[in-house]
Structure 1
Amino acid sequence: MRPLIRPKMIVSAVLAALVLAGCASTPEPPPAPESTSAVEQWAALEATELIDQLEALPLDERPRDVLASVRQDEVVVSAADGSREVSVPIQDGHYLSIAPYLDRTHDCFFHSLTTCTGEMGNEELTVRIVDDRTGEVYVDETARANDNGFIGFWLPRDVAATVTVTGVGGTAEASVQTGAEDLTCLTSLQLT
């Protein structure tokens, strides 16, 4: 003799199957995030990463809709049309970007990661940076300038140092300071 299957049991089993199937179904995808502006994309990076990435870009790949200016304690990232501006704090150190030259240069105090260009792009340069007070050598290396003609270094804050650059055409030297009101862009080194 077979046991009787009750209609309530059948309904319960069907409902349980539907509930379990509902739990196993693929959830709705989350809504797509709103478009992030180029300013916000760059400003989302840490200051060191932001500087390194923009400095390394070839000139023809640099963003035209974004300006990025290195200050003593922040990178100011703004829309080229002035509609948006974000500050990215520099946690430690002082960034100094150097563009030695042979024939032409430009005045510069705060280095622009998107618009500053020097004439020695991709040239090999030897750079030595020495603390004027202690004699500590912060930089002593040969490296290739970025496509924009600049080569950048992280230095301690609040020091006075001598920068010596040697490259095609000769050598140049300058004194710099890395205080709260000092430059981040050195364009006065004419190689002779």
Structure 2
Amino acid sequence: MTGCQGELVEEEFDVVVTDTKGTIVLEETVTTFENGFMDLWLPRDDTFTISIKSDEGQAESTISTFDNDPTCITTIQLL
């Protein structure tokens, strides 16, 4: 069995997810798992702006949840 390992293990991040109408659908502090990743459950069939902040930096990206979109995103980097 193989798996991925993220760099920021068990660290807290302030996460805000906004839909295309500007409505905040998620706003909470999330702690990454032992593998360095976090789970976010978002409504289907929409596009979202995700903002992630911590003492290490911040990142913002656009993601979507349509049928053919990826369910695992590993390209967001803190700046």
TM-score normalised to structure 1 length = 0.39
Match status 1:175 vs 2:62: yes
Correspondence for 1:145 among 16, 32, 44: 32
Q: Which protein has the bigger strand share?
A: 2
Correspondence for 1:166 among 53, 56, 60: 53
| Residue 184 of structure 1: aligned partner | 71
Opposite residue 35 of structure 2, the aligned amino acid is N
Secondary structure at the counterpart of residue 152 of structure 1: coil
Q: Which protein has the bigger helix share?
A: 1
Give 5+ residue unaligned stretches, structure 2: none
Q: Higher relative contact order by CA 8 Å / sep ≥ 6: 1 or 2?
A: 2
Q: How does 1:28-177 map to 2 (within 5 A)?
A: 64=1, 115-132=3-20, 134-177=21-64
Give 5+ residue unaligned stretches, structure 1: 1-63, 65-113
Secondary structure at the counterpart of residue 41 of structure 2: strand
TM-score normalised to structure 2 length = 0.90
Secondary structure at the counterpart of residue 122 of structure 1: coil
CA distance in 1, matches of 2:12, 2:47: 25
Cα distance, 1:168 vs. partner?
Answer: 3.0
Q: How does 1:5-24 map to 2 (within 5 A)?
A: none
Opposite residue 146 of structure 1, the aligned amino acid is F
Percent identity of equivalent pairs: 38
Opposite residue 12 of structure 2, the aligned amino acid is E
Which 4+ residue blocks in structure 1 deviate beyond 2 angstroms? none
CA distance in 1, matches of 2:6, 2:57: 16
Paired residues, number: 79
Rg comparison, structure with higher value: 1
Cα distance, 1:116 vs. partner?
Answer: 2.2
